[in-house]
Amino acid sequence: MKGGRGLTAHELGTPARVLLYSVRRAPWWTVVSVVSRVAGIAVALAFPAALARAVDAALGGAPGLVWLGSLIGAALLTGALEVWAAAAGGIAVEVSLRRGVIRRVLEAGIPGRRRFSSGDVGSRLVSASEAANLVSIVLSALGAVALSAGGLVALALIDWWLAVAFVVCVPVATVLVRRFVAETTGLMRSYRRLQGDLSARLVEALTGARTIQAGGTLDREVERVLAPLPELGAAGRATWEAQRRTVWKVGLLAPLTEVVVLAVAGVGVSDGRITAGSWVAVAGYVTIALGLLNVVDPLMGLAHVRVGTARLAEVLSLPAGPGGPRALPDGPGAITFRSVTVHARDGAVLGGSVAIDARDEGSVSVCAGGGAVLDGVDLDIPPGLAVAVVGRSGAGKSTLAALAGGLLRPDRGEVLLDGADVAEVCPEELRRAVAYAFERPALLGDTVHDMIAYGSVDVSREEVELAALRVSADGFIRRLPDGYDTALDRVPLSGGEAQRLGLARAVVRERRVLILDDATSSLDTATEAEVTMTLTRLLAGRTRIVVAHRAATAARTDLVVWLEDGRVRATGPHDLLWREPDYRALFGEAVPREPA
């Protein structure tokens, strides 16, 4: 992972690795949890003996409650300390897990992968909370086993027949618990998968709420979103049924075992082998020994962790986004494509990698059937020019734009920025050299000022206002309730206004390359002309790549790259290409020619 070592799928491969990861992330809290758990076990094992001593002392007329009171105080203290350490350590691990998974999600460009929609990723992140409690779960299970073993040893020390009576019931309980864990693990895996599917469908529906309302398809969409619900309910009921079958058997086995052991102890009292106080101790120790049956809850938690971390590991196993450790050399912004080929994978969306300014919902290229979006593209973009990329829908315009700034790695070939392969350049350096603006810019930040300054360090108010002025956004911003300090959740922006804010964010700092992926499509003709004039004149000297759909936009650039079926059909000035009937057809014959 770029920028330092991050969370890997290997670290979540097995519960043992998750446990090791948790210990590394919260070492001191783990130590406190272990110490308090061990102390609690010691106190619990000492308590029945102290109670027996107190009973015998009371029957003999001597005081014996001091030691018993001290143990009660120690039990309260160790219990509180354990809860505190478990909570603090769990929070530290959960934060680390969520940070690692979210970082990989953003690096890998999850929005461009249908397998992991935002709703599905959200449901998977819930597993981080369960995994964060793994130390506590393991300590609970080990503590139950240790207590049970200690109780059994104490019974044997009092009278070995007591231990024999108890051990007879252990194999039955072991078989029940093992069968329960094996059954519920598979059921929970199915339940989590269906839960993620339902969440993903809901997020998709919310995203397309206006389309659903306009199409009058509300009932049909509700049915589509809830389609996994019957199967989800069946998986949930099956899990509870498995737990019910196990719990009642374990619940029946516990009192039967206790009755048998106490009956044997009663015989010992009548024979004079066991004192009255020791009989009281037996009642305490048999309850402690039966704690082994309480390991069902920790094992259930362990099954949750196994399923949840496996789902997190699927996200972490995705390849990281483009970029490497190489430094970007100084240069004027020359871009070269050498035999570049990009394939669509299973009809998935391309060009969605995420890196600072690329978190917008931009135009994307889709190629059904897994064909080539770009096929053997060779192209030289001279530095300092304004270049329009034109072509029909699906020609690969947005994919080419994503490649130029290193948001997408080609399947074959290489893309060079000032002689450096962008696939090997450090992403942080690329973001300082390349700025993007998209068709639907994401409004990130608290205020309008923050949104424009997002991704640029130490940007002054003057620079933000200048950027907004350059893209004709200053006027409507100053009409907002608090101007540039207006909270974004109070800004009812039109599509054109949002695009102008996105453009301002792209031009707020001097970068050698500026890439506009359909970033002026919602502007009216007059505003688009003003913005294009800024891009061609005031920003002269930067390399500017504009994905264009209007003849007027292409006419104002220095060079046009004409894409057709994933290949470069022609390059040249707009005036020269306009002579081609097929080129004019891209914009419609009725569109009048506008001189450069």
> For residue 507, which of 452, 427, 431 has the smallest C-alpha distance?
452
**Average pLDDT of span 233-255:** 73
Q: Higher-confidence residue: 332 or 365?
A: 332
> For residue 155, which of 67, 255, 261 has the smallest C-alpha distance?
261
pLDDT, tens digit, for every residue of 470-504?
888 888 889 888 889 988 877 777 778 888 888 88
pLDDT at site 325: 79
State the virtual CA torsion across 582, 583, 584, 587 in degrees, nearest 10. Answer: 110
> For residue 300, which of 83, 88, 140 has the smallest C-alpha distance?
140
Fold of 9-316: ABC transporter transmembrane region fold (1.20.1560)
In whole angstroms, how large is the CA radius of gyration of the chain?
A: 34
Q: Domains of the chain: which residue ranges?
A: 9-316, 335-581
Can you spell out the DSSP letters for 439-460? SB----SSBHHHHHHTT-TT--
> For residue 16, which of 101, 131, 123 has the smallest C-alpha distance?
131
pLDDT at site 115: 53
Amino acid type, 88: A
Distances 43 to 82, 145, 288 between C-alpha atoms, Å: 13, 15, 12
For residue 196, what are its two tokens? 């993620």
Residue 561 has pLDDT above 90, yes or no: yes
CATH classification for the domain delimited by 335-581, as one of 3.40.605.10, 3.40.50.300, 2.60.450.10, 1.20.1600.10: 3.40.50.300
Instruction: Name beta bridge partners: 338.
Output: 414
pLDDT at site 553: 82
CA distance 298 to 293: 11
CA distance 341 to 536: 30
pLDDT, tens digit, for every residue of 51-70?
777 766 666 655 556 666 77
Residue 296 has pLDDT above 70, yes or no: no
pLDDT, tens digit, for every residue of 391-442?
988 888 988 998 988 888 888 999 999 989 988 888 888 888 888 888 878 7
- Res. 559 pLDDT band, cuts 50 70 90: very high
**Average pLDDT of span 351-371:** 40
For tokens 């819930």, what's the residue?
126
Annotate 158-185 with three-state secondary structure: HCHHHHHHHHCCHHHHHHHHHHHHHHHH
Q: CA-based angle 50:53:57, to the nearest 5?
A: 140
Please say whether the beta carbons of 307 and 189 come within 8 A.
Answer: yes
